[in-house]
Structures are given as structure tokens and as C-alpha cells.
Structure 1
Amino acid sequence: MRTPIRIWAALALIPALHGCAGNARPMPPVAAVDLPRFMGAWYVIAHVPSPPEREAFDAVESYRLDRDGRVLTTFTYRKGSHDAPLKTMKPTGFVRPGTGNAVWGMQFVWPIKAEYVIAYLDADYTQTIVARSKRDYAWIMARTPTLPEADYRRLSQRLVELGYRAEAIRRVPQASAAAGPDRATGTAEGERP
């Protein structure tokens, strides 16, 4: 990652860190997450975006456990259109002990770990909501690039029930699944998973 991108990521996360403490009502996590089952590619269907994601297209978050139990993350997206160059971020997730694997500290820049709460996860591990206590950023994700409209409405409503404003939710434009194998793995073109 280039240094200016690291600086931008750090600056974007500074206000987010205030959501980890203070007067914010804690985001309720799911009871338990089977980490190996949660790994893999997740398409970002909608979000309450962080600054770098405000014009995201084709966003995919992909997770892989390393030997130390850290979650190696690859987030790819295109800024402004389906034809824009692919951008990549590679934060590391640190699962917080005693949370049933549902609360992570996501580190973009050392030593900052931003709160990352798995607030909803369906039984089949095909749909999830990741949220934060500050209700500043959130992600509705699925294993497929699109969801049935009823599922999208249900998950959006759940995000509102968790304390987010409906008008802050942005649907992420996703190219069809025919966009190629690089999109399905969450890796940049030419990069090995």
C-alpha cells in the first residue's frame, strides 16, 4: 500500500476510533461466529461508507485466517464506476477474546485497531452485517453480488433497527458475477490469492 493511502486510511479512522469508547451504546454482536466458515469472499451489497468507500463500485471483502489466528483481509473496489482501476486495501483483523469471534479490531495502520462487530449472520453464512458502536460505518455483505430485493430490504431494516439512519445506507453497484475470477476471490487483477 502506498504511503499516501496509509495516511488517508489513518485519517479516516481517527474519528471512527471515538466509536470504540465513550457514550456510544455498544453494538450487540452475534452470539458466536465459526471463523473458518466466515472466511472467504463477501460482496458488499450496501454500506454506510467510510470516506474512501463513498463512491465504491464492485466492493469485495475477503478474509483468510493465518496461523496466529489473525484475519488477513483484502478489500477491493473501484472508485466511481465499474470501469475504474481496482483499488486494494489489506487490513488485518484481530479477534477479541471472549466475544465468540464476533468482535474484531481491524488494523489498517499500526497501532490503531478500529471496532468491527459482526452484528448479524444468517445460519448458512451467506449474509452478514458488520457494524460499529458509533453507528458511523456499516456493511451489508453476501456471498453473491446481488440479493433478492426482499432480503436487501430486510437487512437494511435490520441496520436501521441497530441504530443507523436509513438515508445513510448506500447500495453498492456490483457488476455481474461474470466479472471474472479475480472478483470472486477478492484479489486484485494479476495478484495471487
Structure 2
Amino acid sequence: MYRYLLVFLVFGLLSACTSPPKGVQPVTGFELNRYLGKWYEIARLDHSFERGLSHIQANYSLRDDGGVKVINLGWDTEKGQWREAEGKAYFVDDKDTGHLKVSFFGPFYGAYVILALDKVNYQYALVSGPDRDYLWILARTPQLEKAVVDQLLDAAKSAGFATENLIWVDHSVTKAVKES
């Protein structure tokens, strides 16, 4: 009996890590092929795995198994070198919903929830993790127009994210930018 309870609890905890934050709905009408390619991190909520990094980029490409290859790259300002992490992502539900699970650490997955997206040109996105401690503003270019930033901040605030705690990513030093 305890074994079943333990399996249930472990499954519940793992599935909670891939669920969107309560009340957050992922975008629908999502087109993965249009989302693939390079994105620049414009802003994020603080977390340990990106602390001290600037010039952060993510590159998404198709994997042979139908998933998404994720390469995150950031400039470590203290060490003066690039840090790179490779992960994989898979759709949680159907392929036209912007809700994926992503892993950088073996069998452990976290939510990747696209809660706002430029569906016309796929030039910017607002992404959360499994709870309101994780939020990213992404764009195809290192800067976004103020009107777009304001629109994304309003969407994040409405969804309950602490936008006043966002870290705005430095992309100003062009000599440090790594071409991928």
C-alpha cells in the first residue's frame, strides 16, 4: 500500500512540474516550425541557473525523435566565457498548444508555457515555467519596442507574475556575442 502511495506522490510531483501555473493558459494555434530558431532573452525572473549571465540566447531546432533540441547560451560576466546548456523539449498535449516540457537534467522535466506570442510574425513571446517564479520575455532581436514590452508586461501582471522583479538582460556589448 505504501509503495502505491509513494508512486502516486512521485508521479504527482513530477507531473506538477510540467503543468502551467494555476490560471495560466498556454497559447493555442501554435506552430512549432515558426517558433524554431534563435531567440534573445530580453528579461527574466531571477533563478540560479542563469544568475550572472548576460547576452542570453536560446536556439530551438528539431530532434530526430520529433522533440525539440534546446541550446541555451549565456555570457558569464565573472568568468569572461560562454556557458552553454543543451536540453530537449516535447509537447505536453497537442502540437498546436504552446505547452511543452523541457529537460536539461536527465529524466526531470519542467514546464515551458508560452502564454503570449506574436502569432503574426513570431517575433516575441512570453514564457513561464511551472509556477510564477519563472518568467521570460523572448524576442528574435536583442531589443524590443517599448509598446511590445509594455504589452507583454501587462499580460504577465494580469497573470499574477511579479514583473517588478524582472532582470533586464544586457545585449549591449556586441563583441561578446557568439554567432551560432
TM-score range normalised by the length of the shorter chain: 0.7 to 0.9
CA distance in 1: counterparts of 2:51 and 2:150, whole angstroms: 21
Residue 151 of structure 1 aligns with an amino acid whose one-letter code is V
Q: 1:142 aligns with which of 139, 142, 161?
A: 139
Q: Is the 8 A contact 2:18 2:101 kept in 1?
A: no
Q: 1:100 to 1:28 in 2, by over 3 A?
A: same
CA distance in 1: counterparts of 2:65 and 2:26, whole angstroms: 23
The yes-or-no answer on 1:163 pairing with 2:160 is: yes
Q: Is the 8 A contact 2:14 2:109 kept in 1?
A: no
Q: Counterpart in 2 of 1:53?
A: 50
Q: 1:27 aligns with which of 20, 24, 28?
A: 24
- TM-score normalised over the length of structure 2: 0.81
CA distance in 1: counterparts of 2:56 and 2:134, whole angstroms: 15
Residue 35 of structure 2 aligns with an amino acid whose one-letter code is F
The yes-or-no answer on 1:63 pairing with 2:63 is: no
Q: Is the 8 A contact 1:26 1:133 kept in 2?
A: no
Q: 1:118 aligns with which of 114, 117, 127?
A: 114
Q: Counterpart in 2 of 1:37?
A: 34
CA distance in 2: counterparts of 1:57 and 1:165, whole angstroms: 21
CA distance in 2: counterparts of 1:88 and 1:98, whole angstroms: 29
Q: Counterpart in 2 of 1:7?
A: none
Task: Look at both structures and tell me which one has the larger radius of gyration over its CA atoms.
Answer: 2
Output the aligned Cα RMSD: 2.5
CA distance in 2: counterparts of 1:16 and 1:41, whole angstroms: 29
Q: Is the 8 A contact 2:75 2:176 kept in 1?
A: no
Output aligned runs, 1:103-114, within 5 Å: 103-114=99-110
- TM-score normalised over the length of structure 1: 0.76
Q: 1:98 to 1:58 in 2, by over 3 A?
A: same
CA distance in 2: counterparts of 1:176 and 1:79, whole angstroms: 13
Deviations 1:35-65, CA, capped at 9 Å, x for gaps: 1110000000001132121322000010001
Identity %: 25
CA distance in 2: counterparts of 1:88 and 1:156, whole angstroms: 28
Residue 85 of structure 1 aligns with an amino acid whose one-letter code is Q
Query: Which blocks of at least 5 consecutive residues in structure 2 are unaligned?
Result: 1-12
CA distance in 2: counterparts of 1:80 and 1:163, whole angstroms: 31
Q: State how many pairs are aligned.
A: 167
